[in-house]
Amino acid sequence: MVNFDYTIDKNNVSTVDYVASQQQGDGGFSSWGSSDIDSSAWAVLALIQSGNSLPAKDGNTPVSFILNAQNPDGGFGYNKTDSSKEDYSAEALLALKAVGQAKNLQVTNAINFLNGKKNASNCLSNAYTTALAVLAFTAWDEQYASVLDCLRSQQLSDGGFARDASKGSNSVDTAIAAIALKGKTLPLSVSSSGNNGFIPLNSVIKFSVKITNTGKVPAKNISISLQGIPYEWIQQETSTLGMPEIKPNETKQAGIYVNMNETGEKAVFAVVSATGVPPGTKSNTVQFEVAAAKLSAVLSIQ
Protein backbone atom coordinates (compact mmCIF):
# COMPACT_ATOMS: atom_id res chain seq x y z
CA MET A 1 0.00 0.00 0.00
CA VAL A 2 1.36 3.42 -0.93
CA ASN A 3 0.04 6.70 0.44
CA PHE A 4 1.22 9.90 -1.18
CA ASP A 5 1.07 13.58 -0.28
CA TYR A 6 3.12 16.67 -0.97
CA THR A 7 4.23 19.83 0.72
CA ILE A 8 5.89 22.96 -0.52
CA ASP A 9 8.99 24.77 0.62
CA LYS A 10 10.57 27.97 -0.70
CA ASN A 11 14.22 28.78 -0.31
CA ASN A 12 16.03 32.01 0.47
CA VAL A 13 19.08 32.06 -1.76
CA SER A 14 21.12 34.71 0.05
CA THR A 15 20.57 33.11 3.45
CA VAL A 16 21.41 29.67 2.11
CA ASP A 17 24.60 31.02 0.55
CA TYR A 18 25.66 32.30 3.95
CA VAL A 19 24.96 28.97 5.61
CA ALA A 20 27.00 27.16 2.96
CA SER A 21 29.88 29.61 3.45
CA GLN A 22 30.29 28.45 7.04
CA GLN A 23 31.29 24.92 6.03
CA GLN A 24 34.71 23.84 7.24
CA GLY A 25 37.29 21.58 5.63
CA ASP A 26 36.13 18.55 7.62
CA GLY A 27 32.64 18.89 6.10
CA GLY A 28 30.99 20.23 9.24
CA PHE A 29 29.69 23.71 9.97
CA SER A 30 30.93 26.22 12.47
CA SER A 31 29.51 29.06 14.49
CA TRP A 32 32.67 29.77 16.49
CA GLY A 33 35.65 28.80 14.33
CA SER A 34 35.64 24.99 14.20
CA SER A 35 33.00 22.46 13.23
CA ASP A 36 30.53 21.32 15.87
CA ILE A 37 27.52 19.01 15.95
CA ASP A 38 25.09 21.74 16.96
CA SER A 39 25.90 24.03 14.02
CA SER A 40 26.30 21.16 11.57
CA ALA A 41 22.96 19.55 12.40
CA TRP A 42 20.99 22.80 12.16
CA ALA A 43 22.81 23.74 8.93
CA VAL A 44 21.84 20.39 7.41
CA LEU A 45 18.22 20.85 8.46
CA ALA A 46 18.18 24.38 7.01
CA LEU A 47 19.65 23.26 3.70
CA ILE A 48 17.28 20.31 3.38
CA GLN A 49 14.26 22.39 4.44
CA SER A 50 15.08 24.99 1.80
CA GLY A 51 15.40 22.32 -0.89
CA ASN A 52 19.14 22.64 -1.41
CA SER A 53 21.77 19.98 -1.92
CA LEU A 54 24.36 19.42 0.78
CA PRO A 55 27.71 20.97 -0.08
CA ALA A 56 31.06 19.23 0.20
CA LYS A 57 34.40 20.80 1.07
CA ASP A 58 37.77 19.17 0.52
CA GLY A 59 35.88 15.98 -0.29
CA ASN A 60 34.05 15.98 3.07
CA THR A 61 30.31 16.35 3.68
CA PRO A 62 28.25 17.31 6.75
CA VAL A 63 27.06 13.71 6.99
CA SER A 64 30.59 12.35 7.13
CA PHE A 65 31.50 14.91 9.81
CA ILE A 66 28.51 13.98 11.96
CA LEU A 67 29.08 10.23 11.65
CA ASN A 68 32.79 10.60 12.41
CA ALA A 69 32.01 12.63 15.54
CA GLN A 70 29.94 9.89 17.20
CA ASN A 71 31.17 8.71 20.58
CA PRO A 72 31.57 5.03 21.59
CA ASP A 73 28.42 5.30 23.76
CA GLY A 74 26.39 6.14 20.64
CA GLY A 75 25.83 9.78 21.53
CA PHE A 76 27.26 13.06 20.29
CA GLY A 77 28.89 15.98 22.06
CA TYR A 78 29.04 19.61 21.00
CA ASN A 79 32.54 19.13 19.61
CA LYS A 80 33.96 15.92 18.26
CA THR A 81 35.97 15.23 21.42
CA ASP A 82 33.26 16.21 23.94
CA SER A 83 31.24 13.79 26.02
CA SER A 84 27.80 12.86 24.70
CA LYS A 85 24.83 15.11 25.44
CA GLU A 86 21.14 14.49 24.89
CA ASP A 87 20.40 17.59 22.83
CA TYR A 88 23.32 17.22 20.40
CA SER A 89 22.58 13.51 20.01
CA ALA A 90 18.96 14.27 19.10
CA GLU A 91 20.06 16.99 16.67
CA ALA A 92 22.48 14.60 14.97
CA LEU A 93 19.70 12.02 14.56
CA LEU A 94 17.41 14.64 13.01
CA ALA A 95 20.10 15.72 10.55
CA LEU A 96 20.93 12.14 9.56
CA LYS A 97 17.28 11.33 8.97
CA ALA A 98 16.80 14.49 6.92
CA VAL A 99 19.50 13.44 4.44
CA GLY A 100 18.09 9.93 4.04
CA GLN A 101 20.72 8.11 6.09
CA ALA A 102 19.94 4.40 6.41
CA LYS A 103 19.05 3.11 9.87
CA ASN A 104 22.40 1.45 10.38
CA LEU A 105 24.26 0.50 13.56
CA GLN A 106 25.44 4.06 14.18
CA VAL A 107 21.88 5.39 14.04
CA THR A 108 20.62 2.57 16.25
CA ASN A 109 23.36 3.29 18.80
CA ALA A 110 22.40 6.97 18.88
CA ILE A 111 18.74 6.07 19.41
CA ASN A 112 19.75 3.68 22.19
CA PHE A 113 21.79 6.45 23.81
CA LEU A 114 18.74 8.70 23.97
CA ASN A 115 16.52 5.91 25.24
CA GLY A 116 19.06 5.22 27.95
CA LYS A 117 18.80 8.81 29.19
CA LYS A 118 15.09 8.58 30.01
CA ASN A 119 14.22 8.77 33.68
CA ALA A 120 11.50 6.86 35.52
CA SER A 121 8.90 9.27 34.11
CA ASN A 122 10.26 8.82 30.55
CA CYS A 123 11.52 12.41 30.42
CA LEU A 124 15.05 13.38 29.57
CA SER A 125 17.05 15.95 31.53
CA ASN A 126 14.72 18.89 30.82
CA ALA A 127 11.82 20.02 28.64
CA TYR A 128 14.07 21.06 25.76
CA THR A 129 15.98 17.79 25.53
CA THR A 130 12.75 15.85 26.02
CA ALA A 131 11.14 17.71 23.10
CA LEU A 132 14.20 17.16 20.88
CA ALA A 133 14.12 13.45 21.74
CA VAL A 134 10.46 13.27 20.71
CA LEU A 135 11.37 14.85 17.35
CA ALA A 136 14.23 12.37 16.87
CA PHE A 137 12.12 9.35 17.83
CA THR A 138 9.34 10.55 15.53
CA ALA A 139 11.75 10.98 12.63
CA TRP A 140 13.13 7.45 13.02
CA ASP A 141 9.72 5.79 13.63
CA GLU A 142 10.62 4.91 17.22
CA GLN A 143 8.12 4.68 20.07
CA TYR A 144 7.73 8.11 21.63
CA ALA A 145 4.26 8.20 23.23
CA SER A 146 5.55 7.89 26.80
CA VAL A 147 8.18 10.58 26.21
CA LEU A 148 5.53 12.86 24.71
CA ASP A 149 3.30 12.31 27.75
CA CYS A 150 6.16 13.34 29.99
CA LEU A 151 6.80 16.43 27.86
CA ARG A 152 3.20 17.50 28.40
CA SER A 153 3.75 17.29 32.14
CA GLN A 154 6.63 19.78 31.84
CA GLN A 155 4.48 22.58 30.45
CA LEU A 156 4.50 25.64 32.71
CA SER A 157 1.48 27.59 33.90
CA ASP A 158 1.90 30.27 31.19
CA GLY A 159 1.72 27.59 28.47
CA GLY A 160 5.43 27.67 27.69
CA PHE A 161 8.38 25.34 28.28
CA ALA A 162 11.85 25.87 29.72
CA ARG A 163 15.09 24.01 30.32
CA ASP A 164 15.10 25.57 33.76
CA ALA A 165 11.58 26.05 35.08
CA SER A 166 12.82 28.41 37.80
CA LYS A 167 13.77 30.93 35.09
CA GLY A 168 10.41 30.74 33.34
CA SER A 169 9.37 29.87 29.80
CA ASN A 170 11.44 30.86 26.79
CA SER A 171 10.65 31.01 23.09
CA VAL A 172 13.18 28.46 21.80
CA ASP A 173 12.24 25.66 24.18
CA THR A 174 8.54 26.36 23.69
CA ALA A 175 8.90 26.35 19.90
CA ILE A 176 10.63 22.95 19.87
CA ALA A 177 8.03 21.58 22.28
CA ALA A 178 5.22 22.90 20.08
CA ILE A 179 6.54 20.94 17.10
CA ALA A 180 6.82 17.78 19.20
CA LEU A 181 3.33 18.17 20.68
CA LYS A 182 1.90 18.50 17.19
CA GLY A 183 3.35 15.12 16.24
CA LYS A 184 5.71 16.67 13.70
CA THR A 185 9.45 16.44 13.26
CA LEU A 186 12.24 18.30 11.47
CA PRO A 187 12.67 19.31 8.73
CA LEU A 188 9.15 20.67 8.71
CA SER A 189 7.09 21.00 5.55
CA VAL A 190 4.95 24.03 4.80
CA SER A 191 1.45 23.50 3.38
CA SER A 192 0.65 24.93 -0.01
CA SER A 193 -2.78 26.07 1.14
CA GLY A 194 -1.43 29.53 1.78
CA ASN A 195 -0.91 29.93 -1.97
CA ASN A 196 -4.60 29.38 -2.79
CA GLY A 197 -3.87 25.85 -4.05
CA PHE A 198 -1.12 26.90 -6.47
CA ILE A 199 2.54 25.95 -6.28
CA PRO A 200 4.89 28.87 -7.00
CA LEU A 201 7.25 28.55 -9.95
CA ASN A 202 10.85 27.70 -8.94
CA SER A 203 9.77 26.47 -5.51
CA VAL A 204 10.82 23.12 -4.09
CA ILE A 205 8.20 20.52 -3.20
CA LYS A 206 8.74 17.61 -0.88
CA PHE A 207 6.71 14.60 -1.98
CA SER A 208 6.20 12.14 0.86
CA VAL A 209 5.64 8.49 -0.06
CA LYS A 210 4.39 6.23 2.75
CA ILE A 211 4.95 2.56 1.95
CA THR A 212 3.44 -0.31 3.95
CA ASN A 213 4.25 -3.99 3.49
CA THR A 214 0.92 -5.75 3.95
CA GLY A 215 2.37 -9.10 2.86
CA LYS A 216 3.78 -11.98 4.86
CA VAL A 217 7.43 -11.81 3.76
CA PRO A 218 9.93 -8.93 3.66
CA ALA A 219 10.13 -6.71 0.60
CA LYS A 220 13.75 -6.13 -0.42
CA ASN A 221 15.60 -3.69 -2.68
CA ILE A 222 12.78 -1.16 -2.77
CA SER A 223 12.98 1.60 -5.36
CA ILE A 224 10.71 4.66 -5.54
CA SER A 225 10.12 6.87 -8.57
CA LEU A 226 7.78 9.71 -9.48
CA GLN A 227 5.78 9.80 -12.68
CA GLY A 228 4.34 13.00 -14.14
CA ILE A 229 7.39 15.22 -13.72
CA PRO A 230 10.79 15.21 -15.47
CA TYR A 231 13.34 13.00 -13.76
CA GLU A 232 15.97 15.75 -13.81
CA TRP A 233 13.80 17.93 -11.56
CA ILE A 234 14.34 15.51 -8.67
CA GLN A 235 17.07 16.44 -6.18
CA GLN A 236 19.01 13.19 -6.11
CA GLU A 237 21.24 13.94 -3.14
CA THR A 238 18.48 14.93 -0.72
CA SER A 239 15.78 12.49 -1.83
CA THR A 240 15.13 8.94 -0.65
CA LEU A 241 14.72 6.88 -3.81
CA GLY A 242 15.45 3.43 -2.39
CA MET A 243 15.33 1.30 0.75
CA PRO A 244 17.00 -2.03 1.52
CA GLU A 245 14.00 -3.72 3.16
CA ILE A 246 10.47 -3.29 4.52
CA LYS A 247 9.35 -6.04 6.90
CA PRO A 248 5.79 -7.45 7.04
CA ASN A 249 3.35 -4.97 8.64
CA GLU A 250 6.08 -2.32 8.63
CA THR A 251 5.58 1.19 7.26
CA LYS A 252 8.39 3.40 6.01
CA GLN A 253 8.34 6.85 4.47
CA ALA A 254 10.43 8.29 1.65
CA GLY A 255 10.87 12.00 1.00
CA ILE A 256 11.51 13.15 -2.58
CA TYR A 257 12.43 16.79 -3.22
CA VAL A 258 11.50 18.25 -6.59
CA ASN A 259 12.28 21.60 -8.22
CA MET A 260 9.19 23.09 -9.87
CA ASN A 261 10.89 24.43 -12.98
CA GLU A 262 7.95 25.29 -15.22
CA THR A 263 4.34 26.39 -14.95
CA GLY A 264 1.33 24.27 -15.78
CA GLU A 265 -0.97 21.61 -14.37
CA LYS A 266 0.69 18.49 -13.00
CA ALA A 267 -0.59 15.03 -12.11
CA VAL A 268 2.05 13.11 -10.16
CA PHE A 269 2.03 9.62 -8.71
CA ALA A 270 4.65 7.37 -7.13
CA VAL A 271 5.69 3.94 -8.40
CA VAL A 272 7.27 1.50 -5.95
CA SER A 273 9.02 -1.71 -6.95
CA ALA A 274 10.91 -4.36 -4.99
CA THR A 275 12.43 -7.81 -5.36
CA GLY A 276 9.75 -10.48 -5.26
CA VAL A 277 6.89 -7.99 -5.57
CA PRO A 278 4.63 -7.70 -8.63
CA PRO A 279 5.79 -4.68 -10.64
CA GLY A 280 4.00 -1.38 -10.83
CA THR A 281 2.72 -0.68 -7.33
CA LYS A 282 1.26 2.80 -7.74
CA SER A 283 0.19 5.47 -5.27
CA ASN A 284 -2.73 7.80 -5.56
CA THR A 285 -2.32 10.74 -7.97
CA VAL A 286 -1.73 14.27 -6.69
CA GLN A 287 -2.92 17.07 -8.98
CA PHE A 288 -1.79 20.66 -8.68
CA GLU A 289 -0.82 23.68 -10.75
CA VAL A 290 2.52 25.42 -10.83
CA ALA A 291 1.93 29.14 -11.33
CA ALA A 292 4.02 32.27 -11.68
CA ALA A 293 3.27 35.74 -10.42
CA LYS A 294 2.02 38.24 -13.01
CA LEU A 295 2.90 41.88 -12.70
CA SER A 296 1.50 44.92 -14.39
CA ALA A 297 3.01 48.38 -14.42
CA VAL A 298 1.58 51.82 -15.16
CA LEU A 299 3.88 54.71 -15.97
CA SER A 300 2.77 58.28 -15.40
CA ILE A 301 4.19 61.77 -15.03
CA GLN A 302 3.57 63.36 -11.67
Contact 260, 199 (CB under 8 A): yes
DSSP string, 15-27: HHHHHHHTB-TTS
Using the predicted structure, report yes or no on whether residue 302 has a pLDDT greater than 80: no
Query: Average pLDDT in the 73-98 region?
Result: 96
pLDDT at res. 6 = 46
pLDDT, tens digit, 9 for 90 and up, residues 219-228: 999 999 999 9
Within 10 A of 71 (CB to CB), how many other CB atoms are there?
A: 18
What span, in angstroms and rounded, lies between the C-alpha atoms of 116 and 212?
29
Distance of CA 209 to the CA centre of its chain: 14
Using the predicted structure, report yes or no on whether residue 51 has a pLDDT greater than 80: no
What band does 75 get if pLDDT is binned at 50, 70 and 90? very high
pLDDT, tens digit, 9 for 90 and up, residues 27-38: 999 988 899 999
Question: What fold characterizes domain 12-181?
Answer: Glycosyltransferase (1.50.10)
pLDDT at res. 295 = 77
What span, in angstroms and rounded, lies between the C-alpha atoms of 62 and 27?
5
What span, in angstroms and rounded, lies between the C-alpha atoms of 268 and 253?
17
Give, in degrees to the nearest 5, the angle at Cα 37 between 236 and 62: 25
pLDDT at res. 133 = 97
What is the three-class DSSP state of 34? Answer: coil
Q: What is the average pLDDT value for the chain, to the nearest integer? A: 87
**Sign of the dihedral through C-alpha 128, 69, 138, 185:** positive
Which of 84-98, 249-263, 267-281 is modeled with the greatest confidence? 84-98
What span, in angstroms and rounded, lies between the C-alpha atoms of 139 and 96?
10
What band does 14 get if pLDDT is binned at 50, 70 and 90? low
Question: What fold characterizes domain 192-291?
Answer: Immunoglobulin-like (2.60.40)
0.95 surpassed by pTM = no
pLDDT at res. 101 = 86
Q: Which of 105, 19, 29, 107 is nearest to 62 (CA)?
A: 29
Per-domain boundaries in the chain: 12-181, 192-291
Q: Is beta strand 204-212 parallel, antiparallel or unpaired with respect to 264-275?
A: unpaired
Query: Average pLDDT in the 110-117 region?
Result: 97
Q: Which of 286, 157, 297, 137 is nearest to 226 (CA)?
A: 286
What span, in angstroms and rounded, lies between the C-alpha atoms of 154 and 132?
14
pLDDT, tens digit, 9 for 90 and up, residues 155-214: 999 999 999 999 999 999 999 999 999 888 888 754 333 344 578 888 888 888 888 888
Better-scored residue on pLDDT, 84 or 49:
84
pLDDT at res. 189 = 54
What span, in angstroms and rounded, lies between the C-alpha atoms of 15 and 17?
5
What band does 128 get if pLDDT is binned at 50, 70 and 90? very high
DSSP string, 144-172: -HHHHHHHHHT--TTS-B-SSGGG--BHH
